[in-house]
Amino acid sequence: MTVAFLYPGQGTQRPGMLHDLPSHPAVTATLAEAERVLPGSSTRDDAPALASTVTTQIALCVAGVATTRALTAEGAEPDAVAGHSAGAFPAAVTAGVLTFAEALMAVRHRAELMRDAYPSGYGMAAVLGLGVPRARALIESVTTDDDPAYLAVIDADQQVVAAGSDRALDRLDAAAERAGARRVRRLDIGVPSHCPLLAGLADAMAAHLGTVPRRAVTVTYLGGRTGRPLTDADAVLDDLAHGVAATLRWRDVVALLGELGTTLFVQAPPGHVLARIAQAANPRARAITLARTPVADAVELTRRARATDVRTA
């Protein structure tokens, strides 16, 4: 395994993210397809639009698929894919499990369920610099029956994300400062993802994805709940449905990709956080982001990575 494509999730969105996608015929065609499936999905990327969970998750799916198609059109194919939260849907498209249209409809359904379940009063916060055991204990210490908080995402050894009520997250902010955390940052996410608060939503998503035709997995897909490769469509669709209510183990995903021999990580737009995490976890590998690297350069780096892999095999 040489090349892994990574797809970011909610919290990485930024105004102009769709308008700033690479100029490439495959991107243009993908935006046109998105517009046919969900009118407005190819253009709505200003700040007011991205304040919506629904618009943001759709835009992330569009960006991920569009840039992947630009790369593959030039011959840059991945050996593995992984998506962070909502990014799992474009990853599933690249893996051959979902069509682009199916992914768009599923993402919209998922985001609408999330929005309607928790329209206000909940969110997510990153805790940096405490380590996973201490952060977990701190999150548990601020939890009450009325105001819960959960360990939602493990991005790295010193970077986790909590999900819960605003009041619980406020208590976490104060407690983490007293505990010596390097930083606590509220994320631009207005729902409590990756925790038991969304268990009912996960069941609804499983019912929705149960109607999708089963297809062979054509590219190795790493599941966020386990951090392990999933080899059949049922397992991937289960990950897409139930991952929203389970802790996201991104640290395990990037660690295993390194162990499997990945030497080049390519992050789809927007942002660079997944590339940064992958690089820190795998110092001997290279991690780039298409938000900063032209398609032609990414294709050339993919070609070189494969050539090096062949020579060292």
Spans of all domains in the chain: 3-117+196-312, 122-186
- Percent with pLDDT over 70 in the chain: 98
Low-confidence ranges of the chain (pLDDT < 70): 309-313
- Model pLDDT for residues 206-260, shown as the tens digit of each residue: 999 999 999 999 999 999 999 999 999 999 999 999 999 999 999 999 999 999 9
**pLDDT value for 311:** 52
B/e letters for 275-305, b = 16+ CB within 10 Å, e = fewer, are bbbbbebbeebbbbbbbebebeebbebbeeb
Closest CA to 5 of 56, 57, 75, 71: 71
83 neighbors 91 (Cβ within 8 angstroms): yes
Closest CA to 251 of 187, 186, 162, 160: 160
**pLDDT value for 119:** 87
**pLDDT value for 3:** 98
Closest CA to 291 of 2, 81, 13, 11: 13
**pLDDT value for 309:** 67
- Model pLDDT for residues 200-212, shown as the tens digit of each residue: 999 999 999 999 9
Q: How would CATH label the architecture of 122-186?
A: 2-Layer Sandwich (3.30)
How many residues are recorded in the chain?
313
CATH class of 3-117+196-312: alpha beta
Cα separation, 171 vs 288, whole angstroms: 36
> Is the bond preceding 270 in cis, omega lying within 30 degrees of 0?
yes
